[in-house]
Amino acid sequence: MKDVVVPIIVAMIGVLFGGGSVPLVKAVLGKGKARVDEVAALGEASEKWVDRFERKAHEALDEAERARVELRQVRAEVFALAQELHRIRMLVMRDPPPSIEEVRQAVGGQE
């Protein structure tokens, strides 16, 4: 039994200790630390950029909402003007033609 177990144990200790010594050597040498620090710094900078972008996006969305409300008001005014123009046109085209007084009244009663 010993003849079988001892080589297996030697192999296990050798492989696992050998495998463990690789990251230990890397840890002692400090390999890759600079890159991790760099990434952490970049992470902080990018977080600031994302915050700034989010703020700007919110402002742009608010502005777009205000523009939409204004556009609705303008459309309503344009529709009212078109209706009035149509009414005056109908009056002018009438047969018999309207009197000057009637036309004055249709455009608001001013000379």
d(CA 77, CA 29): 76
Which of the ranges 16-24, 75-83, 90-98, 103-111 carries the binding residues for another protein, by CB under 8 A?
Answer: 16-24
Contact call for residue 12 and another protein (CB under 8 A): yes
Closer CB to another protein, residue 35 or residue 66?
A: 35
Closer CB to another protein, residue 17 or residue 79?
A: 17
Q: Is 78 helix (H, G, I), strand (E, B) or coil?
A: helix
With contact defined as beta carbons under 8 Å apart, do 88 and 107 qualify?
Answer: yes
Q: Nearest approach, Cβ of 79 to another protein (angstroms)?
A: 30
Which helix (H) or strand (E) element contains residue 21?
A: helix 2-29
Contact call for residue 26 and another protein (CB under 8 A): yes
Residue 66 Cα distances to 52, 63, 71, 72, 81, angstroms: 22, 5, 9, 10, 23
Binding site for another protein (CB under 8 A): 1-2, 5-6, 8-10, 12-13, 16-17, 19-24, 26-27, 30, 32-33, 35-36, 39-40, 43, 54, 57-58, 61
